A and B are shown apart, each in its own frame.
Chain A
Amino acid sequence: MAWPSTEPIVDIRDLSVHYGLRGGSLARLIGSDAGTVKAVDGINLTLRRGEVVGLVGESGSGKSTLGRALLGLAPATEGSIEFEGQDLADLSGRRLRALRRDIQMVFQDPSAALNPAMTVEEAVGDALRVHGMRSASERRTKVIDALERVGLSPVELFLEKYPRDLSGGQKQRVVLARAIITGPSVLVADEPISMLDMSVRAKILQLMLDLKQDLGLTYVYITHDLASAKFFCDRIAIMYLGRVVEIGPTEEIFANPRHPYTKALLRAIPDPDPGRQLPRDLPRGEVPDAASPPFGCAFHPRCNEATPICGWESRDLRALIEGHWTRRSAEEYAGERSIVGDLDHLDKPTTGATIGSAGSAETRVFLDRVRAEKPDEPIWGGIDAINDVGSGVRVQFREGVDPALRRAGEVQVACVLYPDEPTGVEAAESDRDRPPPPPEPVSAGINRRTVGLTVVGLIAALLPFVAFAGITREFVQNGVLTSYSRINVLGILGGVVAFGCGWALLTKGGGAERAPWWKAVGVVVALLGVLQFLHGSSLLVAVSPCQSERVDSTWCR
């Protein structure tokens, strides 16, 4: 089926795609950090010409973001994507567009991916038009060829049709035709069959295999369905919360799954053969919040094989206690609840969690009861000490380990259960064990935000000098104007904005090193802001009232 050569066609190095979260408007003004979502977090992957690489994981695992980053549709925060020697991550928009002739995408929902106002001919030919093919007749020839390749024949029947006239399978064929018409060498297929009816899924998959054979394509197949990945892919990367947790040849992954997450995914696939039902031990819970991932290994809260060093923390304690309460009667719950008190503060991740409100001894008894119910829970191994604090106890967790991707047999796996020493080339790659909590995202050099903050801050600080909007107060003594003050609303606003910008520069300006340089700029802008605020609200004027003769002096405006 496949003939993957060793020649790399796409080489992804340490790729990260981080999205900054937007807090409230005040938080944004003063630049407080609303957090980052690490959609893709340090991924290394090499695509060899002619192979099918599967990216498998649940939603939120970053598999789609990684696919989109390959086309430059998601901006890389860090790292590089090399396609035939060019780094995609720092190409300009125009160069990137030219490159997309070689890397194309097939989307999940064919109904959403096709413009309802375009006929099949227009939709498929549009890619050519974008890439500069002017002649309509030339385009038509190519469109007909592409439609024939995806099996939409007789072509005349389909050329003038609109998406609404087509069935799901036919629409996906049109999307495929549109993707191959520019003659790409890499096709990123994001869940191409998951929206289709059972009866046509196999057909579209077969078509993709045929296209690969005929056109020598390389596929990135993104899916949550391990069954189709098993059939379709040469290599599989299992992703969880932005990281690759296991990667290797398909046969090996299925014959000998290593990472507990891979095992869980395999167990979760319902088997149509009623004779093969196994009692299943499913991971609990769901994919955690990517804005504040679990400490240590991101999968540990759901893992059946977790160890004491997987990164236990306060949120795990909350889940444990709440799980315990789902098995208690209402009276028992009420009693225990009054001992433990509110648990909401445990949502703030920390390795030292304080619980209890009715006394240390009672809280200890309660914890023992929880422990007695399920003594095998791995979290108990991750607790270093329980100390009395005030009316409760402080549970101290052991520092966790964030496992890096390491070689284990024919695959690479990121799990503390496979601590094999890395060898050779992998040593450099795998030397990335990060201590919990994970480090702040860093971006190299002076970033856009720093420049933006400086410019906005300076404008806000200086604008009120040349513009006025507010109230004038005149002080008259014996019919003579002695002094007057003006409350400049613009000045007050400008001062606040400038101070916010300055503060933001101070706390998060600059790039990787937080150069002192930017701190200085921040201080200046913030001070200008304060000055402007005072002046605008006429507090400065009150300190040094202007004499009537000098009312036209610039400073006093």
Chain B
Amino acid sequence: MSIEMSNAMSLEMSREPVISARDVRVWYGTTRGAIRAVDGVSFDLAPGETLGLVGESGCGKSTLGRGLMGLLPKGAKRDGEVWFEGKDILSMRPKDSYRLRGSHLGMIFQEPLTRLNPLMRISDHFQESIKQHDPSLTKDEIKQRALDALRLMGIPPTRYRSYPHEFSGGMRQRLMIAMALVLKPSFVVADEPTTALDVLVEAQIVQILNDLRRNFNTSLLLITHNVGIVAEACDRVAVMYAGRIVEQGRVADVFENPQHPYTRELLRSTISLRTTGLNFIPGAPPDLVDPPDGCRFHPRCPEAMAVCATRNPVNIERPRGGRVECWLVGPEDEIPPGGKQRLKQEELTVADEA
């Protein structure tokens, strides 16, 4: 499966991907059993490309982002391959992957104030992280690099010696972005970078992220629950449900012509300025200790067929590029006879609601 996929991807992009994940899995051990938070995820990311990762809470988006960085808590296990500059990050020694983080792999977090040390000046933050990766630089060179990064984020050099509390929420998030980018990583994970911000500031940050691909040639994995932000700032989108990417492709293709019912329902339930009626997805994402058989979305799917409850859907190419896994799209020849009958679903009540 993964081989077919990489072929399709490389055809689509024709450039060597910066990062390519193959069948990545992450489990959390609990007393009830293993939570399969990420369960076989594959994707590629070209240089300067932004991939949006969307889905409801509890679908494994953040876990995937942290798993790629190697920032998982104790008690988590991961498996699969993540190829970055010819090396597999997941099978590296911890020391080597530590060296990779920051200088090659960057991360932007959700709540900037909790990620900045309140007792350190901004200058100290920059000095610390630059020195860590480039001990040979002098103080002046460090300042130069830091000021360049700040300038690109619209933070004046007069604020270089300020403390984190002297900045507003949006400025802090821009600081975080500047600190992630000052080391010029080729791949950055941004985990819900705008969730804690105001509407107008959110739009400003989205614009900055949007400009990243032009200014830095950085590949970005943008994790969000807001499909509007994906439409605005991303080249491609991956829709995640219950630990799997159920559909991915170019944003315009996927959003204009969603193939997977989950993508469609997610788009329909979003309240936008053109909303004229309220739609929602009944039920909640499944318990990942014991996910449903077959397609994991089938208990909530408005178009579930008999085959959906018994067999895992096959990952196939979308009609206009990208990948999708849903029996509605195919492949026809693998659906057993009678498999296309409407599935008799249990009724979902408020008791199952998210």
Chain A residues in the interface with B (C-beta under 8 A): 58-59, 151-154, 157-158, 167-170, 173, 197-203, 205-206, 224-228, 230-231, 254, 264-275, 277, 280, 282-284, 286-287, 302, 322-323, 325-327, 330, 333, 337, 343
By the criterion CB–CB under 8 Å, are A231 and B232 in contact? Answer: no
By the criterion CB–CB under 8 Å, are B273 and A198 in contact? Answer: no
Residues of A within 8 A of B265 (CB): 199
Q: From residue A360, how far is it (CB to closest CB) to chain B in Å?
A: 22
Residues of B within 8 A of A203 (CB): 278, 280, 353
15 further A-B pairs in the complex, CB-CB below 8 A; given A286-B170, A286-B171, A322-B159: A197-B354, A198-B266, A199-B281, A203-B278, A205-B278, A231-B275, A254-B273, A266-B273, A268-B203, A270-B228, A272-B270, A274-B251, A283-B200, A326-B151, A326-B156
By the criterion CB–CB under 8 Å, are B232 and A202 in contact? Answer: no
A199-B280, A205-B278, A287-B198 as given contacts; A167 in contact with B353, CB under 8 Å:
yes
By the criterion CB–CB under 8 Å, are A198 and B272 in contact? Answer: no
Task: Scan residues 132-150 of chain B and give those whose CB is less than 8 A from a CB of chain A.
Answer: 144, 147-148, 150
Complex-state Cα separation, A325 to B152, whole angstroms: 11
Q: Is B163 an interface residue (CB 8 A)?
A: no
By the criterion CB–CB under 8 Å, are A230 and B147 in contact? Answer: no
By the criterion CB–CB under 8 Å, are A272 and B200 in contact? Answer: no
Number of A-B contacts (CB under 8 A): 167
A231-B275, A273-B255 as given contacts; A197 in contact with B57, CB under 8 Å:
yes
Residues of B within 8 A of A205 (CB): 271, 278
Residues of A within 8 A of B201 (CB): 58, 286
Listed A/B pairs (5) with beta-carbon separation below 8 Å: A197-B57, A224-B199, A231-B278, A323-B154, A325-B151
By the criterion CB–CB under 8 Å, are B269 and A231 in contact? Answer: no
Residues of B within 8 A of A302 (CB): 200
Q: Is B157 an interface residue (CB 8 A)?
A: yes
Task: Scan residues 252-297 of chain B and give those whose CB is less than 8 A from a CB of chain A.
Answer: 252, 255-256, 265-267, 269-276, 278-281, 284
By the criterion CB–CB under 8 Å, are A269 and B199 in contact? Answer: yes
By the criterion CB–CB under 8 Å, are A330 and B156 in contact? Answer: no
Complex-state Cα separation, A199 to B279, whole angstroms: 8
Q: Is B80 an interface residue (CB 8 A)?
A: no
By the criterion CB–CB under 8 Å, are A167 and B284 in contact? Answer: yes
Residues of B within 8 A of A330 (CB): 144, 147-148, 157
By the criterion CB–CB under 8 Å, are B278 and A200 in contact? Answer: no
Residues of A within 8 A of B170 (CB): 286
The A contact surface, by secondary structure, is helix
Task: Scan residues 195-211 of chain B and give those whose CB is less than 8 A from a CB of chain A.
Answer: 198-204, 206-207
The B contact surface, by secondary structure, is helix
By the criterion CB–CB under 8 Å, are B354 and A269 in contact? Answer: no
By the criterion CB–CB under 8 Å, are B354 and A200 in contact? Answer: yes
5 tightest CB-CB pairs across the interface, nearest first?
A270-B228, A322-B156, A268-B203, A202-B278, A199-B281
Q: From residue B320, how far is it (CB to closest CB) to chain A in Å?
A: 13
A227-B275, A282-B204, A286-B169 as given contacts; A199 in contact with B232, CB under 8 Å:
no
* Beta-carbon nearest neighbor of B265 in chain A: A199
By the criterion CB–CB under 8 Å, are B198 and A224 in contact? Answer: yes
Residues of A within 8 A of B350 (CB): 151-153, 169-170, 173
By the criterion CB–CB under 8 Å, are A274 and B206 in contact? Answer: no
By the criterion CB–CB under 8 Å, are A272 and B151 in contact? Answer: no
Residues of B within 8 A of A275 (CB): 252, 256
By the criterion CB–CB under 8 Å, are A325 and B198 in contact? Answer: no
By the criterion CB–CB under 8 Å, are B354 and A201 in contact? Answer: no
Complex-state Cα separation, A224 to B199, whole angstroms: 7
Complex-state Cα separation, A122 to B255, whole angstroms: 45
By the criterion CB–CB under 8 Å, are A228 and B266 in contact? Answer: no
By the criterion CB–CB under 8 Å, are A271 and B280 in contact? Answer: no
A58-B200, A283-B200, A330-B144 as given contacts; A277 in contact with B232, CB under 8 Å:
yes
By the criterion CB–CB under 8 Å, are A323 and B156 in contact? Answer: yes
Complex-state Cα separation, A463 to B229, whole angstroms: 66
By the criterion CB–CB under 8 Å, are A153 and B349 in contact? Answer: yes
Which of A170, A173, A225, A270 touches B206 (beta carbons < 8 Å)? A270
Q: From residue B259, how far is it (CB to closest CB) to chain A in Å?
A: 16
* Beta-carbon nearest neighbor of A342 in chain B: B158
By the criterion CB–CB under 8 Å, are B269 and A264 in contact? Answer: no
* Beta-carbon nearest neighbor of A268 in chain B: B203
* Beta-carbon nearest neighbor of B159 in chain A: A322
By the criterion CB–CB under 8 Å, are B200 and A228 in contact? Answer: no
By the criterion CB–CB under 8 Å, are A59 and B198 in contact? Answer: yes
